[in-house]
Each structure stands twice: as C-alpha cells, then as structure tokens.
Structure 1
Amino acid sequence: MDVIVETRYGKVLGREEEGVRTFLGIPYARAPQGERRFLPPEPVEPWTGVLDARAYGPICPQVANPLNPVDGFAQSEDCLRLCVYAPAEGTGHPVMVWIHGGAYVFGSGQSPWYDGRAFARDGVVLVTLNYRLGPLGFLHLAHLGGEAYASSGNAGILDQIAALTFVRDTIEAFGGDPNRVTVAGESAGAWSVGTLLVTEAARGLFQQAILQSGIPFQYRTPESAEWFTAQLLDALGLSPSSWRRLFDVPAADLVSAAARIPARDGLNLRPVLDGVTLTQSFWDALRDGHAAHVPTLAGSNREELMLWVARESEWRALSDEERIARVDRMWGPLTDRARDYYVDGRTGDELLTWLVRFASMRTFTYPTIRAAEIQSEYAPVYLYRFDYRPSRLGAAHALEIPFVFGTYAHPSARALIGERPTHADVSDAMHAAWVAFVRSGSPQAPNLPEWPTYDPKRRSTLIFDEAPRVEDDPDSAERELWSDMTSLSM
C-alpha cells in the first residue's frame, strides 16, 4: 500500500509491502546542472505537495561496460538522489548508509544487489545513494577556475557528505536514529568511506564505518589531476583558456571523452589532495586520529583481481612474461622481493593465480591490514576476509556484496555466482554480522565463532567461507613480506 511520511523538506510518498517501507529517488541536493556543474552540491529546496518516491530516479551519466550494463535506468545530471528502505513499524532504528562502488566512473545506489529490504526486515534503515561520477564528480579545475572550483576534484565526495547531512536531518521521519548511523561501501564506495573517515566536513555525520574491499591508499596529487584535465580539454578540442565551454558539452560526451583517456597513475578520476576538502593523505590523517572513536569493520576478498582476469580472455592468451609485465604495469611495482615470492618457479595457470594474489594484496588486502593496524589504536576494529569461492571467479572482487545484502538469488547476481546450496549459509552469516555491527558496533552474531577485535599482535580475522572461522594472522609470511616492503607509502 502507499504510505506518506513528512520530512522537514516536505511530504514523501512511498510504498509499504511485507513489513518494509521503500522510498525511492528522493533528491538530497539541487541538481548540479548548467552553471552548477562541477560546483559543490547545494541543499535541496523544500517542495510543495507530496513528492512521489515510488520509482527510482535517474543515475549519474556513465559509460556502460561488461561489469556495468547500466540496468536501463535513465541518466541525468539531476542524479543526487537516495533511496530509503525502512521497517514499517517502530522508531529509533539504527541506520546504514551504503555508498556504491564502480571505480568512481560507473554504478549507482539503485543496483538490485543493494536492495535494502533484508536489512529493513532486520530492523535497520538502509539508505543507498547516487553521487556524481567521472569528470562530473572528480574533474580538478582549481588551477583554471580559481576559488569557486577549488573543490571540484572532490565534488563526488561532497555529494556524499550532502547525502549524509540530508540523512541526519530527515531520517527520523523514516523511523531511523540520526545518532546511530553507519556509513558503508565497497570498492570506490569503501575508498569513499575511508575518505569520509578523515574528512573534517563529514565529522559527526556518522558513528561507525564499514569498508569492503577498498582503502584510499593514494589520493591524486594536484599535478596528476591537472594533467588529466589537460588531456580531457584536448580530447574535446578545448584549450585551458576556453575551459568554461565544458559547461556546454553534453554530459554523455564529457563522460565518453574521459573514458577514452588512458590511465597514467591508477584511476584517472578519484579524490584529489586539493588542500580544501582533503588536506592530508589518508594515512597521515588516520595516524593523527581523525577517525578516533569510530568502530570499524573492514575486509577484503581473497582473489580480488580475479574479477577482471577471469572475465578478460586475453589474459589466457598472454605468455608468462607478458602477464608479468602487465601486472607490473597495472598493479606494480613487482619488486625483487615480490618476484621472489610470487613469480619465481611458477608458470602457466599457477603463475597467473599468484599474480592475481600479488595484485590483490597490493591493491586491497594489505592496505586494509595496514589501516586496521592504525585504526585499532583509536577504536574497535573487526577484520574479515572473504574466502568463499561461489563460482569460477573464485573469491573475487565485489562477489561478497550479494551475500551481505541477501540478494544472491537475484538474476544479476546468479549470472556471476551461480546457484549453490551453501550460498544461503554464507549469506546468513555475513548479513547477520553486518546487522549486528550496525546495531551495536560489534559484528558478533549467533551463527559466528567468537570474533575478537583486531590488534597488531594477535591479528584476529574472521574468514567467511562455507563455514566461518577465525584465524590469527592468516598467511602471516605473506603479510610480513608486505610489511617489510617499501613499495607502498603507508
């Protein structure tokens, strides 16, 4: 049935079904269109009448790819919208705000993988959101546009802060407690959560954090960001002096041109150390205690990079030397010590497996361990690793998401993870842990073994597999190798 709630901005019409209320496509900021393109988000204006929130709104303009079929959603710069999944009864429920991944260039909070009904049925108000992606959210223009555009390279992060502010101001109307908010995300979403942890403008907007497969281990420098801006202007036939013509470029053309520029030092479009929104590296800010008193749940997947390797047939056609060179270029450097550990004496599929392991440690697993080491000095930290291999992709990047959300049976999830009787057990364990953490700051759940907080001595880690288990310092030799290597500035 239809249901109406009243917020400080106006009335919102949603749907109630089987004990869950859903409100979709609610604007949380003004549309960043026209002259507001690239500028910080502005508060949404109160509306008159009743806002119809029974259908999804548009998503941020983006380029489709095999991992991002775009799901048939309309695309528009009027994309700063969020969805709320809430229990039909009661008030004061804990809140989880989910930030989607997609390398900061694709994705949306409207993916069926992120359907929040399972959380709502367990007494959690689940909020998903869209934010500006690609050049719309991360194009650095400070050197061209001056003070007004000083934070343009982090507009997408400012969108997330605007969404959290909207949640703080309205969530009571949906049955949530604004003082019990957990911000969570995966991949670029987890990068975002890590960034929010150490960003002054986000302080106080959430009390707990969940980071799945992502740590912002390296922001763009202004120099790197300016290089990309020059490349994009050139690709569009513009010069630095005519940069304001970017306002006239259709969003689809802007996004498409940005996607064609080869990456130089990691993702071309990601948060930038602009001196305004971000004034310190993530590591320095974390060491300085900027995330003190924020209980944190974090982890990674055992075979993160297999998502790309297994889906790209050209990997199989490469020689061993070509595979090594490609990994070194994309996820390196492969130092002498790393080659001794991951490469020497291995060939063929065995070598590829170990190269995936190297890249996964380099990009996801070790940064997560290092962040846990630092954050554990200030607040409770719970570390996990997803080892469950639901399909030929193994324990690959993003495959834990449908188990956390209980959406593993959706056709889009089944296309990647197939169907196995053990899926339900793994999902029950992970979902229960996330619900417990959102409720109490501890992920301890009845169907899990005792899960101690992480510390640099014992290093207790919950391994999610067909049967969950706790291991102390799993793969310690490999972890010690990375602790000793100097290839990462952590």
Structure 2
Amino acid sequence: MTGTVAMTRQGAVRGVTNDGTISWRGIRYAAPPNGALRWQAPQPAEPWEGILDVTTFPTRAPQVLAAELVPPGGATPSDDDSPMGEDCLFLNVTAPTQPMDSPCPVLVWFHGGGYTWGSGANFIGDGTALALEGTIVVTINYRLGALGFLKLDHLLGDQYASSANAGLLDQIAALKWVRDNVAAFGGDPSRITIAGVSAGAKSVVNLMASPMAEGLFHRGIIQSGGEHLNTPDTAEQVTAALLRTLGLSPADAKELLTMPVETILAAQQEIAAGVRATWVWRPTVDGLILPEGPVHAFAKGRARGINIMAGVTANEAGSYDLADPCASQQSPRVLQEIFGDEAEQVLDNYRSAFPEADERRLHCAVLADERYGIPTIRLLDSQSEHASCWRYRFDAPSPGAPKEKWGFHGADVPFVWDIGLEAAEPALQTLASGIRQAWTTFIHHGKPESQDLPFWPEYRRTERWTMLLDTTPTVVPDPRQQQRQAWESAEWQPDTWWTFPALHPAHNTTH
C-alpha cells in the first residue's frame, strides 16, 4: 500500500483519507449478478487497467427500507444517497493511516435488515472507530430479498441449485476476496473476524455452519442473531407465493429471469412489507451450502476452534412492536404452534417472572426469546463444547431515546462503532469505551478484555456466565433462567412470526 493506493489482484485502487483512516469505498468483489447471472453463484470480478478511484459508497442491492427498524442517528458519512441496482456486489475497506509494526487483524461486518434491506455502510459508515483501534474494517453489500434467497432449482433445473442461498454465496465470495487481497491494505489474512447484527449476525452463524466457508475466518461476533432458516419445503412455498403475486404459473417461472427488478421488488413488498418482511426472506438448509442448521452443525464440531461472542439486547421485541403494534399479538398463536397444550403454562412462567408486566409486555418477552434469546443460547451451548465463547446482554440506556426504547433490537451497535454518543452521560461513555475495548481485544487476540468492564468469564453450559452491559456492567450466571428452562423441551424452526395470505392462501392473517 502506497499512501491511498492499494494493489488488489484485479487492479489498483485509490481511496480517501479521513481523520486518521483511509477508506476504499466500492471495490467490486464479484461480477455483476444480473442478466444471465441473476440467481447464479457469484463469479470473479474482471481486472482493470490503471488506478481506480474508489471514494464513494457503491450501489446497494434493490430494497425497500424498513425505516421503522433503523436505529436513531447514524454514521457520517453513510451511503443513504447511493443508488440501488442488481450490480451490487461491492465492499468497502477502512484502514488506520498510522503504519503498524505488523499486519492488522481484520473485521468483516455483515449488515442487518432481515435479508431485505441494508448495506455495508448502513448505519456504521466507514467503521472508523474500530479502524482507529488498529483493525482493518471490511463492510459488504450482498443480494437481498427474492434476488438473494429464492429457491428455483425445482422449477428451472440444477443450474439454479444455489439460488436459494445466492446471498450467502455472495458473502462467501467476499470472504475469499478478503483472504486474497486484504494484505494489500495492511491486513492479516490469518486473523479475520466476521461480525454482524440481526440478519448479519445470522449470516455469521450460517457461514460458521457452511463447509463452503471453512478456513475463511477465525472468530465470530453475533449481535442479536439466532437460527432462522427455510427448509426446502418452506422455501418452495415462498417461491410459489412470489409467482402467484406476479400472476405466473410454476411453468412460467423462467419469466423471472428477464423480469424488471422493480417488478420483482414490488411483488416482494406485496407478500410482506416493513418489519413483517424481515422474517420472510432467509437462507435455506439445502444440503450443499448449508447441509444442516447451525445448532446441530456446531454440536458436531463443524466450527471447531472458532471463538465467538454472542448476545442480545434487553428489549429485542420493542422495536418490532412499536413499528407494528400487532407484533406481540402473534405470540399466543406462535406459542400454541410450538408447545401445543402447554402454551398457557409457558406464558404463566413469564407472568411469574415479570409480575409487574401487562400482557402485551409478556408477549413481547416471548417474541424476543423465540426470535433471538433462546436460539442464541442454543448456539452458545453447542459451540462452547468446541471453542471459547462469551455471552452478553445489552441492558443500557440509549442516549437521546425515551426509556421505552432502551434495549431495542440493535441498541448495542452504536456503542461498538461510537455513533451518536457525543452527548451521552459519562457512565455511558465509559461503557461504550469498555465495549469497544472488549470487541477490539477479541478481534486482535480472540478474547474480550477491557479495563472498563468486569472480568468476563467464558460461557459454559454449566454456569452460562453472561456480561450484562449497563451503566454499571456486571457478570451473572444464567440470567432469566426461568424463561430459558421453559423452552428446554421445545424443538421448532422459527418461521415468519406473522402469517401471510400470499404464503398461506388457506389461512387468514391475524391483525
């Protein structure tokens, strides 16, 4: 790397300097996945001559933003003004300007957004805060919604065998690019951590479970993730719903290959919009890219030796219920589907645990546990047999937000990336510093440590030690044990939460 110019395997790129960092925004890591490559596995990017200026954020995947789920504030600069289009397979790299004695560890960040919206720069911008700590930060764009996760092989043949996981293959292609090129930016390809929030955190989990991503990274950070996948059958139901919405028969599925992207996006929105869309589109256990769900894969040692940090926020469901007030109303039906006759008993468990809570808040607690809390515990239980793991729960106030919004889904993200905390009280500033130190030491050395946090013991199934990140951080064993135990006998595949007429024509949706 010479100044702002780095030499990748495809060609030279020139970035932009900004407050102690250099950013290269919009490097192509794979060929445009449009035309004949729509729903195909990503292909290598073409090389170029000369030096390519990469100073502005790239095209985002086609999407309709669920604005109600975007946390307040946001990074500057960001890519809010970037265009959208199918030609979206780009990544961004940010490195410290200060030369290091040895190559820097690398953090690859996968954005959230329910696999339907978002981008690498969404909310975190260049990721400057961690780059200033001596980390190379890579953020990526990948295919979303129907263009990233639509099962087509049963209708169009084996050449579409990976279409249901095209977005996951994009992430794998980006990781291969990082492995092959990050040294040119001062990065150490033998110390790569993958991290993300929400769908990005689930992406981390899926990549750990995929044999196709083996060896491409060395640690993982899972912020409000879990295990949320389609079976081949449910994936085919989603495909059928999209075709019906477009007025196509299964025999006409090939028309999807040349259909305007706006038409596909509009049909996707018709099936489910806003927060409801964020649990419809997802990867599929296909026997190839994802041979099985991550909890089972981890239990078998699929990700042996990959240390993880994993956690949730205190009020995961709050953002969903505020955005769509009938979110909590789905809880009794979901409990009935999972527990049958024992559903009321499970709800009584929550009533005794939260005696001051009204029914709506109880149902929000169920939503949070079913979507995020219990799946995260199960991932930790499985992986802690094969690697060092650490668990947290983010309980802290959100600066500038009313108390009822504290601990919302994604509330920990600003603390990691130092966003919107300028006016925060000193205790929150100290907490944010502690969180960044813990994340940085984990990225650098595989173990979270911070002088601003208590000692953080490893997670074991026997004690389930958990760091409660609050204005006064504490470490406790097995918090909310009573609720965890209520789910111990449950075996279920988290579905779409809401029922949708397009997906289940025989059912009526619950409003």
- Give the TM-score normalised by structure 2: 0.87
CA deviation after TM superposition for structure 1 residue 345, in Å:
11
Show the counterpart of 2:257: 247
Cα shift readout 1:141-180 (whole Å, capped 9, x = no counterpart):
0101211100100000000000000000100010000010
1:347 deviates by 10
Deviation at 1:258?
Answer: 1.2
CA shift digits 1:324-364 (9 cap, x unpaired): 64223467647132121235899996222222111111111
Q: Which moved more, 1:326-335 or 1:72-81?
A: 326-335
In 1, Cα distance between equivalents of 2:113 and 2:264:
18
Q: 2:415 corresponds to which letter in structure 1?
A: F
Offset from partner CA, 1:348-392 (integer Å, 9 cap, x none): 962222221111111111111111111111000011111113233
Amino acid paired to 1:452:
P
Residue number in structure 2 paired with 1:41: 42
> Is the Cα contact below 8 Å between 2:113 and 2:199 reproduced in 1?
yes
Q: List per-residue Cα deviations over 1:234-286 (Å, max 9, x = no partner).
A: 21122222212112221122112112115999932101112221121222211
Instruction: Summarize the alignment of residues 162-173 of structure 1 with structure 2, pairs less than 5 Å apart.
Output: 162-173=173-184
Does the alignment pair 1:379 with 2:382?
Answer: no
8 Å CA contact retained: 1:92, 1:175: yes
What residue number does 1:195 align with?
Answer: 206
Q: Secondary structure at the match of 1:61?
A: coil
- Please list the CA deviations of residues 372-413 of structure 1 after superposition, one character each: whole Å capped at 9, or x if unmatched: 111111000011111113233121101111111111348xxx
Partner of 2:83: 74
1:181 is aligned to 2:185: no
- Separation in 1, partners of 2:344, 2:281: 30
Q: What residue number does 1:318 align with?
A: none
Q: Cα offset for 1:448?
A: 1.3
2:438 partner SS: helix
Question: For residues 324 and 98 of structure 1, do their structure 2 counterparts lie closer, same or farther at Cα, with a shift above 3 Å needed?
Answer: closer
Residues 45-92 of structure 1: per-residue CA shift (max 9 Å, x gap): 111111111001110000133236882320011110111110112241
Please, which moves more after superposition, 83-92 or 153-162? 83-92
1:202-242 Cα offsets, whole Å, 9 max, x none, are: 000000011110112x4211111111111111211222222
Secondary structure at the counterpart of residue 15 of structure 2: strand
Tell which deviates more after alignment, 104-113 or 345-354: 345-354
> Is the contact between residue 307 and residue 388 of structure 2 (CA under 8 Å) also seen in structure 1?
yes
Q: Secondary structure at the match of 2:68?
A: coil
The separation in 2 between residues aligned to 1:119 and 1:177, in whole angstroms, is: 15
In the alignment, residue 436 of structure 1 is paired with which amino acid?
Answer: T
Q: Number of matched residues?
A: 473
Residues 1:95 and 2:103 aligned together: no
Is 1:167–1:178's contact at 8 Å kept on the other side of the alignment?
Answer: yes
Distance 1:280 1:376, change over 3 A: same
**Candidates 98, 102, 116, aligned match of 1:105:** 116
Residue correspondence of structure 1 range 426-437 to structure 2 within 5 A = 426-437=431-442
Structure 2 CA distance, aligned partners of 1:482 and 1:150?
A: 35
Taking the aligned partners of 2:143 and 2:335, their CA distance within structure 1 comes to 26
CA contact (8 A) 1:68 1:106 kept: no
Is 1:84 aligned to 2:93, yes or no? yes
* Equivalent residue number for residue 16 of structure 2: 15
Q: Label 1:345 to 1:15 Cα distance change in 2 as closer, same or farther (>3 A).
A: closer
Q: Distance in 2 between matches of 1:119 and 1:347?
A: 41
2:56 corresponds in structure 1 to 55
Letter aligned with residue 467 of structure 1: T
Alpha-carbon distance in 2 for matches of 1:253, 1:426: 46
Aligned residue in 2 for 1:267: 279
Number of the residue aligned with 1:320 = none
Query: How far did 1:420 drift?
Result: 4.6
Equivalent positions of 1:300-315 (< 5 A) are 300-312=312-324, 314=325
The reply to whether residue 3 of structure 1 matches residue 13 of structure 2 is: no
Change over 3 Å in CA distance of 1:487–1:236 after alignment to 2: closer
- Which amino acid is the alignment partner of residue 85 of structure 1? T
Task: Pick one of 316, 330, 350 that aligns with 1:326.
Answer: 330
- What is the alpha-carbon distance in structure 2 between the residues aligned to residue 472 and residue 344 of structure 1? 20
* Identity percentage of aligned residues: 37
Q: Is the contact made by 1:115 and 1:407 (CA closer than 8 Å) also made in structure 2?
A: no
Measured in 1, the distance between the counterparts of 2:56 and 2:272 equals 37
In the alignment, is the contact (CA less than 8 A) between 2:92 and 2:126 conserved in 1?
A: no
Is 1:400 the counterpart of 2:409? The answer is no
Alignment RMSD, CA only?
2.4
SS, match of residue 260 in structure 1: helix
More deviation, 423-432/63-72: 63-72
Q: 3-state SS of the aligned residue for 2:124?
A: helix
How far apart are the structure 1 equivalents of 2:233 and 2:480? 38
Query: Given residue 236 of structure 2, which amino acid in structure 1 is its aligned partner?
Result: E
| Structure 1 residue 435 displacement after superposition | 0.5
Could you say what secondary structure the match of 1:298 adopts? Answer: strand
Do the aligned residues in 1 keep the contact of 2:59 with 2:87 (CA within 8 Å)? yes
Segment drifting more, 425-434 vs 395-404: 425-434
Q: Could you tell me which residue of structure 2 aligns to residue 319 of structure 1? A: none
TM-score with structure 1 setting the length: 0.91
Within the candidate set 143, 156, 165, 1:154 is matched to 165
Aligned to 2:504: none
Range that drifts further, 359-368 or 31-40: 359-368
Verify: 1:440 aligned to 2:445, yes or no.
yes
Secondary structure of the structure 1 residue equivalent to 2:441:
helix
**Residues 296 and 382 in structure 2, CA contact (< 8 A), matched pair in contact too:** no
Task: Judge which range, 139-148 or 149-158, deviates more.
Answer: 139-148
Question: 1:3-51, CA deviations, whole angstroms, 9 ceiling, x for partnerless residues?
Answer: 2111221100101233211110111000001110000000111111111
Question: How far has the Cα of 1:485 moved from its partner?
Answer: 4.2
